[in-house]
Structures are given as C-alpha cells and as structure tokens.
C-alpha cells in the first residue's frame, strides 16, 4: 500500500534494537484518515470472504480494528491482556510469549462473543515474531470459528513471523513488509 | 441519548459491586454502528468548539475516540498506562488513583503530540470517580493546551466524579448518566 509506505518513510523513526516508531500515526497518535484508507484496503482484499467478526488485541490493534470494521459491517472483538472486571468468567485463553519482556502473558476473549458460526479476520498493527497472532489463532480454534486470515499494517519481514504463518497455510496480508531496518534505513520487501 | 440507553437496558448486566457490564457493545466486543451514532452525538454537542485533538486513554477509550474523530477530522491521541517501547522519552505524565486496584498508576502522553495550540476534547467509555479524567486534564494543562470538555459514554452518577468536575467548571457531557444500580436495576438520571 503506497500511501502507507510513504507515511512510514516520512514519519517513521528507526531506533536501537530494530524498533520502528510510528507513534505519530499508528499506535499513540492516530491518523484517522490513514486508518480509513487502511480499512478500505483490508476490505478490498477480504471482500469475498463473508467475514462475520474482526478479532484484534489490545492496545494498538483496537483503533485499526474498529475503523476497518466499518467497511465490513461487523463487530470487533479485542482480546484482553490483563485481568479485567469488564470480562466474563467464561473465556478462551491463550499464552503469548513476549520477546521484549521475555515472559508469557495471557490473552482472553469472552466465550459468548465467538463461536463456530463466525468467519474471523484477525487485525493488528505489527507482525514481528507472530506470537500474538498465534495466540489469536489459538483462540479462534478454541471457539471452532473459521479463520479467514490476518490483516496486518506493518510486518517486520526480517523477524519471519509472517513467513512462518504463511508456510503453515495461514493467509497473512500485510500492507507494508519491511525486510531491513539496518543502519536506520527502512527497506521494504 | 435514547439509542444508547435502550442498548444499556437491553444488553447491560449489573453485577456485584455496582459493576455494569457492557462488554457486548462497548468495551470488549464493539458495536461499530452504535459507536458511530455516539461519535455523531459528540460532534453535535461539540461542533462549535474548533476541536483540534481528541485525547483518550487505553484501553476502552480508543475505539470510541477513533470512531468519534472521524466526525471532527482530527487526530486521536491515547494516553498509555504501561511503559511502552512505542513511546517517546519526553512525555507528560500524571498519576491516576485506581479504586478497584487500590493503587496509583502512571499515564503518559508524548510531548510532541500535544501543545498550546491544541483545543482538546477528552473521550472515555466510563466516568465513575473521575480519576482517569483528572489525569487527562492534568496532562492537557501540562501541555498548555485548551481543555474544551469531556465526552463520556456512560457516567456512573452515584460515584459523583462527573458532578465534582462540573462543580469545578469543567464541561462534562455524558450520553447516559446512571444514578443507581441497586438491586440490579439500572436507573438513569
């Protein structure tokens, strides 16, 4: 997606440890116009898939999921990372390994909102090692829902999570794939 | 807002400890059509205020903030509750007391995205004791931005955070104010 790549080149900042900061438009301040273009692009790519639900994960997936859902006319469901009094007791749970924090954390989705009749599109801002996405896939399976695929805004191709998922037959559509951030230079696939 | 009140009466579940669960449409699963109506209503109420930025707080404020921002054509900024590698080093910080967790937590906003030229509308899903909103107001002040007011989806009137803020001259517009949840019965103001 050209508009997105231009925005990444213009506003993205590469920092130590292969970190790409896009907090001016994607995960702290949100450029709602760009998010709408992203939502339209996901709709274009998954329009024939009869999606019934968008599943994402807090925090940074929520805005993208919500804006995208407008184009599919379906509800969004976001997995929670922390215990919350807003959540049911009956939940699907999955363990996600965080490389940055070097530990597992639990994600949860209330059982009542996801079931075997659902056709699920996963949405997230970043895909690196793919562990968060694996957690969402696990929860989709527990619900016996149909996994249609994943729509990702930025994939860090050099961390191979996306390719591993594709090799396992999972459809992963990333709007921008970055193959290198070495020497502070953003190289797209 | 009648549509919202009807939804709360139809799908809200009152649980022990004056908890109102609205996770079927507001803070776990998201009813995007309703969120759009909420966004339109906030626009109607604040349309003459020349809002330049919507400020909200993770997690449950994000979707409402993002959908609402479409009607104002402005960016959204969400305060982070946790340390995040996505965040700058230069941040406005405020301490928020959580009654449920009985402790303080920090919220943070990157300095570069909020300044004296901004006219800020605060958005959140719930207002109870008002401590989270006080944190956002504190950050708005630190940035020397102009606080226009707060748009809240559901105010728990019996916890008096909203009235305290109004008594201090802050405009708080809540789309539904609940005065009691006693005996599991939802009573609107």
- Across the interface, do B88 and A32 touch by the CB < 8 Å criterion? no
Q: Are B114 and B135 in contact (CB under 8 A)?
A: no
Q: Are A117 and A149 in contact (CB under 8 A)?
A: no
Domain that holds residue B108: 2-188
B155 strand-pairing partners: B127, B177
The beta-strand segments (E) located in A16-84 are: 19-21, 29-30, 53-57, 76-79
As to burial, measured by CB atoms within 10 angstroms (0-12 exposed, 13-18 middle, 19+ buried), residue A119 is: middle
Q: Is residue A132's pLDDT more than 90?
A: yes
Phi-psi region of A40 (alpha: psi -120 to 50; beta: other; left: phi over 0): alpha
CATH number at residue A112: 3.40.50.2020
Specify the length of chain A in residues. 189
Q: Would you state the pLDDT for residue B156?
A: 97
- Across the interface, do A23 and B86 touch by the CB < 8 Å criterion? yes
Chain B contact set for A139 (CB, 8 A): none
Helices A61-72 and B32-46: crossing angle, nearest 10°? 100
Q: Are B62 and A17 in contact (CB under 8 A)?
A: no
Q: Which of B30, B76, B88 sits opposite A30 (nearest CB)?
A: B76
What is the rounded CA–CA span in Å between residue B151 and residue A100? 35
Q: Is residue A87's pLDDT more than 80?
A: no
The backbone torsions φ and ψ at residue A152, rounded to the nearest 5 degrees and listed phi first, read -120, 140
pLDDT in tens, A66-82: 999 999 999 999 999 97
pLDDT in tens, A1-40: 999 999 999 999 999 888 999 999 999 999 999 999 999 9
Q: Would you state the pLDDT for residue A31?
A: 98
Going by the DSSP 8-state scheme, the letter that residue B21 receives in this structure is: E
- Average pLDDT rounded to a whole number, residues B54-75: 98
Sign of the CA dihedral B12, B15, B20, B25? negative
The chain B residues in contact with chain A (CB within 8 A) are 19, 21, 23-24, 27-33, 35-36, 58-60, 62-63, 65-67, 69-70, 73-78, 80, 85-88, 100, 109-110, 112-113
- Average pLDDT rounded to a whole number, residues A113-117: 98
Q: Would you state the pLDDT for residue A109?
A: 97
pLDDT in tens, A138-189: 999 999 999 999 999 999 999 999 999 999 999 999 999 999 999 999 999 9
Q: Would you state the pLDDT for residue B18?
A: 87
pLDDT in tens, B88-136: 789 999 999 988 778 899 999 999 999 999 999 999 999 999 999 999 9
The percent of residues above 90 in pLDDT, for chain B, comes to 91
Number of domains composing chain A = 1
Q: Would you state the pLDDT for residue A101?
A: 78
pLDDT in tens, B16-48: 888 999 999 999 999 999 999 999 999 999 999
* Residue A86 pLDDT grade (very low, low, confident, very high; cuts 50, 70, 90): low
Q: Would you state the pLDDT for residue A126?
A: 97
What is the rounded CA–CA span in Å between residue B135 and residue B127? 13
Which residue is associated with the tokens 């937590």? B105
pLDDT in tens, A97-112: 988 778 899 999 999 9
- Average pLDDT rounded to a whole number, residues B127-148: 98
The chain A residues in contact with chain B (CB within 8 A) are 19, 21-25, 27-33, 35-36, 58-60, 62-63, 65-67, 69-70, 73-78, 80, 85-88, 100, 109-110, 112-113
Q: Would you state the pLDDT for residue B86?
A: 67
- Average pLDDT rounded to a whole number, residues A76-99: 87
Among B8-22, B42-56, B76-90, which stretch is predicted with the lowest mean pLDDT? B76-90
3-state secondary structure B103-140: EEEEEEEEHHHCCCCCEEEEEEEEECCCHHHHHHHHHH
Give the closest residue to B152 by CA, choosing from B179, B133, B180.
B133
Q: Check the annotation: does B149 bind a ligand.
A: no
Give the closest residue to B162 by CA, choosing from B176, B141, B145, B181.
B176
Q: Are A86 and B21 in contact (CB under 8 A)?
A: yes
pLDDT in tens, B104-114: 999 999 999 99
Q: Is residue A84's pLDDT more than 80?
A: no
Mean pLDDT across chain B = 95
- Across the interface, do B30 and A66 touch by the CB < 8 Å criterion? yes
Sign of the CA dihedral B142, B143, B146, B152? negative
* Residue A43 pLDDT grade (very low, low, confident, very high; cuts 50, 70, 90): very high
| CA A62 to mean position of chain CA atoms | 9
Q: Which of B30, B65, B78 sits opposite A76 (nearest CB)?
A: B30
Which residue is associated with the tokens 């919202």? B4
Chain A contact set for B32 (CB, 8 A): 66, 69-70, 73-76
């Amino acid at each position: 997606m050209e508009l997105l790549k231009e925005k990444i080149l213009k506003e993205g900042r590469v920092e130590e440890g292969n970190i790409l900061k896009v907090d001016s438009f994607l995960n702290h301040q949100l450029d709602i116009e760009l998010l709408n273009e992203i939502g339209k692009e996901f709709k274009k790519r998954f329009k024939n898939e009869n999606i019934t639900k968008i599943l994402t994960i807090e925090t940074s997936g929520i805005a993208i999921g919500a804006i995208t859902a407008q184009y599919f006319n379906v509800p969004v469901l976001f997995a929670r990372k922390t215990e919350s009094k807003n959540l049911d007791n009956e939940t699907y749970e999955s363990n996600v390994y965080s490389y940055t924090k070097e530990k597992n954390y639990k994600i949860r989705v209330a059982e009542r909102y996801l079931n075997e009749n659902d056709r699920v599109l996963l949405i997230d801002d970043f895909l690196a090692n793919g562990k968060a996405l694996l957690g969402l896939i696990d929860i989709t399976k527990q619900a016996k829902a149909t996994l249609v695929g994943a729509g990702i805004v930025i994939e860090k191709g050099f961390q191979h999570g996306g390719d591993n998922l594709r090799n396992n037959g999972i459809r992963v559509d990333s709007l921008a794939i970055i193959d290198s951030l070495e020497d502070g230079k953003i190289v797209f696939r």
